[in-house]
Structure 1
Amino acid sequence: MSGRRAPQAPPELAGFTPVELLGSGGFADVFLYEQELPRRRVAVKVLLPDRMATGSIDEFTAEANVMAMLSTHPAIVTIYQAGVAEDGRPYLVMEYCPKPNLQVRYRAELFSVAEALRIGVQVGAAVETAHRADVLHRDIKPANILVTEYNRPALTDFGIASAAGAGDAGGLSIPWSPPEVVGEKPTSDARSDVWSLGATLYSLLVGRSPFELPGQRNTGVELITRIESAPLAPIGRSDVPPSLQRVLQRAMSKSPADRYSTALEFARALQKVQIELAHSVTPIDILDDGTPAGVVDDADDGLTRVRGVVSIDPAPAPVSPPSAPEQWAPDDATRRSRRETAAPQSSGDATVVRVAAIDPLPAGPSRFETVPAPTAAQTAAPAAPPLPPTSATAAASAPPSASAPPVAARSKRGLWFALGAAAFVVVVGVILALALPAVLGGPAAPTPEASASDRPIDVVPVAPGAPEGLAGAVGSDGVTFTWTNPAPEDGDEYLWGVVPRDGSDPVLERTAETSVTVAADPSGTTCVQVLTRRANGQASAPSTACTT
């Protein structure tokens, strides 16, 4: 977003209806469109016409290819399609993330330690995924981390991304760039992205970029000098543990050799802080390339391979030991399905009946399956060499003697008597339960009904809508900007700031009014950014307007 120009008009795209401007940058504008089929809201990034004569088209094409390759990751913005409008402007159709990006949020309120750690692990996994695809982002900063409808961070703007080891590219953001990138001979590798991610998390916790000093000059020259030589200032919050300060200091070391070597290593260090604070540990989502070559899915005959996302927890769950095999005798037709845990033993008979072996069952009632009778080939070959018989196995394998009593017959008669007695008791109990209240004259038990309080209640606060109708009028005392609140509530206030001409972040001030008057910019173009903030601290997406 920059104050040097007014935004361009949205292009006409078949199947899409423009809704509003979402933001402007040095290379492109981003618009909200309504897609007709499938019906959904999408963000469309459109390259500026004056950038089409330079190498920006190549960068734009590279961004489309990189995002298409990586956008299946849950923490990377999804790209739906790319094309060229009828007026010749290239565009990207991307996932629309309606919530304020991290830059808007950290200016309005400080992030909690828990949320900063969660975002760090999730975005760290996205960066690791890009690095494994041999892609460096090279512009990680709060403004390039959007927030989805489900409150997940989504890394975007791969416009200056490059292959690992490639040369320098323009368009860097100085406040979140490491020393080796802002130096006289810029270089970058995976550890440069680690530095920028650490600087981003630092900003979320302190409310400003790492080397920005309140009340002092913070031009690009001053920031570069501090990035190269000044130590990282302590965060200065009582709820931030020293371990998190140390993790960020290492990630932002002046020398790349002193940093975490990979984004994965950085994310694991953040997980350890979560464990120390007894927080829920955020999983690390990365692509799994380690599928065994010999594993073939029957459904596709091994012709299709899908690389899934794997969640890496800090420690694997303990595995319960297998339980001892049950001692029971199946009848002739039905066998309980279970896995053998001991070597089969020969009973001395010519026929060996094997219990079917399947995968372990989940906890719950046992399953039963019918096992077909063994074939002649199965009855001819023993399953294993015979083992020395023990007293138990000898007794089990010995044929019954002629004088043995008919145990099975007596057992069946006893079973029928037991079942009959149990049925009698149940019937008597039901009769008493139904008749006793009527005999005694007592009221029947009321039927429980669900109350309104039993139903789930959505307690997630809804972010306010962005200011609408923001416009400026030039007068004798300056430029007056006015706007409206689409859904005002008690306690609403507005954060506003003049957008600097150099493209840096505006300094936001508070007001309860829906208008401000500012001095006209000498260049002739004056831009103001305004956002709504609720009494609970939730902020809207920003609205920006310029006058010429």
Structure 2
Amino acid sequence: MSNRPPSPPPRLPGYEYEQMLGSGGFADVFLYRQARPQRRVAIKVLLSNVLDESVRRQFDAEANVMAQMSTHPSIVTIHQAEVSDDHRPYIVMEYCPRPNYGMRFRKERITVAEALRVGVQIAGSVETAHRAGILHRDIKPANILVTDYSRPALTDFGISIATAKGHDVEDSQGMSIPWSPPEFFADPPRADVRSDVFSLAATVYSLLAGKTPFERRGQRNTASDLIHRIAAEPLEPLDRPDVPPELNRVLSIAMAKDPSGRYDTALAFGRGLQQVELALSLPVTQMDVLDDRGTPAAHSTDDDEMDMHTRIRKVATVDPDSGTTAHGGRRRLDPFDGVAPALGPASSAGSAPASSASSSPGESTQLRPAGAPVSSGPSPLAPPGARQEVEEKPRTPAWPFVALAGVVIVVIGVGATLGVRYFVAPEDQERESISINTPDDPVEPPGKPTDIAVETVAPAKGGGVTARARVEWAYPPDFEDGDHFRVHWKDMPENYEKFDAWHDVFGRNSKVLEVPPGISTPCVEVVTVDDNGGASAAGEACLESG
């Protein structure tokens, strides 16, 4: 996120400018309307003052990578890449109008079902990129856009690199610290496909937690604090009551400190999320993977159950099973038991499989319908004449006796039940029912802040220093010890996540915020949050220009 003022939109033949969508360190994103064919598109434009040739090469590489990947249903589509009349390179992309997950995860409670669905679908796009030899290196909620059809779409391959160069990373510039794995901050930095697995898992965690994985509410969360926690502190389990232990285990494996303890591939992580969907009796999300390598993937007997839920072109694929193998039904060892202990017999069978497990090429298992005869011929252990002797001896049919015994048992059982009911048992009393999966009684939300005012306390300066404004409000009448406030700029455009992010305010009723550049009348929202996490309705006020 950049604090600089946005650049002017370029004049592009065949496109009509509509509005700005957001800005980054080296580029701005604008909304245009394309004349032929008519549609709205997002156009990412490199800044005119960027003279660094490596940045320009990186911008061109992003266009090529996204164009190569954009046929995937969960990767943003690239339409065109050109250079404007004022010599600024630009990329014409699919416009995703719905709020991205970077804007949503701090504002609203995202369901477990939606987080799992997004995780599985993006895992397919990340696996596709890996099979094409590309590491994304910047997977985070803000880089998951949402299409018109509510489909998540991965974008911003601006700092992606070839998988073969993962041990030749110059630095961590451009990476987003809250979702980065420990190896990004090593000396020297390094990256491989398991680094993207960590970032994707951290993204799913953020969607469910409403905060980044190593952020601590009420504590200091500077970049150095986050880097220390990522490298040294354990991942806190999600404490939502609707998050099952299976999901916490999958996330803890994917975010292991040591890359060797994680899932080997994004595909394996996606399969782990699919297993959680199964455990919760949710529809299993389809995972799409495009494989251009022309060689079959490892066939795992642990993956047979989900074959219908994974589409991998040009390879034969398999899906997670209950943990048995083709070797006679023995349960295979859990490869992640040292990272995240298994949850017990009931859940270990459904634990996420290792991506490296595979069956021998020549093995097969013959299946028979239940109740089918094992053999239609005589037993090899029986004497030659035994079968004929049995067949010639007449037998008395047994079914009349079985039927008579059944009738007698039924009559005795019914008589005994009626006798106990009328002569022995006391009159039935209404039993207290137990509510299962029913919500708790609604709790009255706290009162919202009042008398909200916004005023500028420091004007913008040169060198990219933005203006600052103080937001003040009055305590609601029912404010209690343990309550606090949250404040942010509302309705920010794309790539303004820094200004859109909520700020927690403890022990006071004011907050100084950076003013978002390029917006004439920005407005703030303030809510009261009680100690149970319940939030009030939002109060708002706007900063008048001038």
| TM value normalised by structure 1 | 0.58
Q: Is the 8 A contact 1:63 1:159 kept in 2?
A: yes
Query: Could you say which residue in structure 1 is the equivalent of 2:34?
Result: 35
* CA shift for structure 1 position 185: 1.4
How many angstroms apart in 2 are the aligned matches of 1:546 and 1:87?
34
Corresponding position: 1:192 with 2:168: no
Matches within 5 A, 1:262-273: 262-273=265-276
What residue identity is the alignment partner of 2:114?
A: E
Could you list the per-position Cα deviations for residues 334-388 of structure 1 after superposition, in whole angstroms to 9, with x for gaps in the alignment?
Answer: xxxxxxxxxxxxxxxxxxxxxxxxxxxxxxxxxxxxxxxxxxxxxxxxxxxxxxx
What residue identity is the alignment partner of 1:33?
A: Y
Corresponding position: 1:236 with 2:239: yes
Query: Could you say which residue in structure 2 is the equivalent of 1:85?
Result: 84
How many angstroms apart in 1 are the aligned matches of 2:10 and 2:40?
16
Query: Could you say which residue in structure 2 is the equivalent of 1:127?
Result: 126
How many residue pairs match? The answer is 355
Matches within 5 A, 1:480-495: none
* CA shift for structure 1 position 220: 0.6
Corresponding position: 1:508 with 2:508: no
| Distance change in 2, residues 1:292/1:225 (3 Å) | closer
How many angstroms apart in 1 are the aligned matches of 2:524 and 2:98?
12
DSSP-derived class of the 2:106 partner: helix
Matches within 5 A, 1:367-406: none
How many angstroms apart in 1 are the aligned matches of 2:117 and 2:210?
17
How many angstroms apart in 2 are the aligned matches of 1:187 and 1:474?
44
Query: Could you say which residue in structure 2 is the equivalent of 1:251?
Result: 254
Corresponding position: 1:275 with 2:248: no
How many angstroms apart in 2 are the aligned matches of 1:214 and 1:494?
14
* CA shift for structure 1 position 494: 9.4
Could you list the per-position Cα deviations for residues 481-528 of structure 1 after superposition, in whole angstroms to 9, with x for gaps in the alignment?
Answer: 99xxxxxxxxxx9952799xx995754269xxxxx9975869999999
- Residue in structure 2 matching 1:226, options 229, 246, 253: 229
Corresponding position: 1:110 with 2:103: no
Matches within 5 A, 1:53-452: 53-166=52-165, 167-168=168-169, 170-289=173-292, 314=319
Could you list the per-position Cα deviations for residues 58-105 of structure 1 after superposition, in whole angstroms to 9, with x for gaps in the alignment?
Answer: 100000110010000000000000011111111000000000000101
How many angstroms apart in 2 are the aligned matches of 1:179 and 1:133?
24
How many angstroms apart in 1 are the aligned matches of 2:53 and 2:544?
26
DSSP-derived class of the 2:164 partner: coil
Q: Which moved more, 1:41-50 or 1:200-209?
A: 41-50
Query: Could you say which residue in structure 1 is the equivalent of 2:489?
Result: 496
* CA shift for structure 1 position 311: 11
| Distance change in 2, residues 1:529/1:243 (3 Å) | farther
What residue identity is the alignment partner of 1:279?
A: L
| Distance change in 2, residues 1:36/1:524 (3 Å) | closer
What residue identity is the alignment partner of 2:66?
A: M
Query: Could you say which residue in structure 2 is the equivalent of 1:333?
Result: none
What residue identity is the alignment partner of 1:172?
A: M
DSSP-derived class of the 2:22 partner: strand
DSSP-derived class of the 2:211 partner: coil
How many angstroms apart in 2 are the aligned matches of 1:180 and 1:476?
39
DSSP-derived class of the 1:202 partner: helix
How many angstroms apart in 1 are the aligned matches of 2:59 and 2:544?
26
DSSP-derived class of the 2:102 partner: helix
Could you list the per-position Cα deviations for residues 421-441 of structure 1 after superposition, in whole angstroms to 9, with x for gaps in the alignment?
Answer: xxxxxxxxxxxxxxxxxxxxx
Could you list the per-position Cα deviations for residues 11-55 of structure 1 after superposition, in whole angstroms to 9, with x for gaps in the alignment?
Answer: 010000110011111121100000000000000001122323341
How many angstroms apart in 2 are the aligned matches of 1:17 and 1:254?
48
| Distance change in 2, residues 1:58/1:547 (3 Å) | farther
| Distance change in 2, residues 1:239/1:530 (3 Å) | farther
Q: Is the 8 A contact 1:281 1:314 kept in 2?
A: no
How many angstroms apart in 2 are the aligned matches of 1:226 and 1:109?
25
Could you list the per-position Cα deviations for residues 121-180 of structure 1 after superposition, in whole angstroms to 9, with x for gaps in the alignment?
Answer: 000000000000000000000000000000000000000001003122521000000000
Moved over 3 A (4+): 288-293, 307-316, 472-482, 502-507, 516-533, 544-548
| Distance change in 2, residues 1:313/1:275 (3 Å) | farther
What residue identity is the alignment partner of 2:177?
A: I
| Distance change in 2, residues 1:125/1:524 (3 Å) | closer
* CA shift for structure 1 position 314: 4.0
What residue identity is the alignment partner of 1:199?
A: A
Q: Is the 8 A contact 1:148 1:154 kept in 2?
A: yes
What residue identity is the alignment partner of 2:489?
A: W
How many angstroms apart in 2 are the aligned matches of 1:85 and 1:64?
15
| Distance change in 2, residues 1:530/1:209 (3 Å) | farther
Q: Which has the larger radius of gyration?
A: 1
DSSP-derived class of the 1:165 partner: helix
How many angstroms apart in 2 are the aligned matches of 1:110 and 1:529?
25
How many angstroms apart in 1 are the aligned matches of 2:273 and 2:523?
34
Q: Is the 8 A contact 1:190 1:263 kept in 2?
A: yes
Query: Could you say which residue in structure 2 is the equivalent of 1:411?
Result: none
How many angstroms apart in 1 are the aligned matches of 2:544 and 2:63?
29
Q: Is the 8 A contact 1:47 1:90 kept in 2?
A: yes
Q: Is the 8 A contact 1:194 1:251 kept in 2?
A: yes
Q: Is the 8 A contact 2:488 2:500 kept in 1?
A: no
What residue identity is the alignment partner of 1:508?
A: W
How many angstroms apart in 1 are the aligned matches of 2:202 and 2:50?
30
How many angstroms apart in 2 are the aligned matches of 1:112 and 1:193?
23
Q: Is the 8 A contact 1:139 1:173 kept in 2?
A: yes
Q: Is the 8 A contact 1:32 1:44 kept in 2?
A: yes
Q: Is the 8 A contact 1:498 1:526 kept in 2?
A: no
How many angstroms apart in 2 are the aligned matches of 1:278 and 1:522?
46
Q: Is the 8 A contact 1:191 1:262 kept in 2?
A: yes
| Distance change in 2, residues 1:504/1:187 (3 Å) | farther
| Distance change in 2, residues 1:112/1:82 (3 Å) | same
| Distance change in 2, residues 1:40/1:521 (3 Å) | closer
Matches within 5 A, 1:458-497: 474=456, 496=489
| Distance change in 2, residues 1:24/1:73 (3 Å) | same
What residue identity is the alignment partner of 2:112?
A: V
DSSP-derived class of the 1:194 partner: helix
* CA shift for structure 1 position 530: 5.7
Could you list the per-position Cα deviations for residues 408-452 of structure 1 after superposition, in whole angstroms to 9, with x for gaps in the alignment?
Answer: xxxxxxxxxxxxxxxxxxxxxxxxxxxxxxxxxxxxxxxxxxxxx
| Distance change in 2, residues 1:197/1:58 (3 Å) | same
Query: Could you say which residue in structure 1 is the equivalent of 2:5?
Result: 6
Q: Is the 8 A contact 2:455 2:543 kept in 1?
A: no
* CA shift for structure 1 position 182: 1.8
Q: Is the 8 A contact 2:132 2:292 kept in 1?
A: no
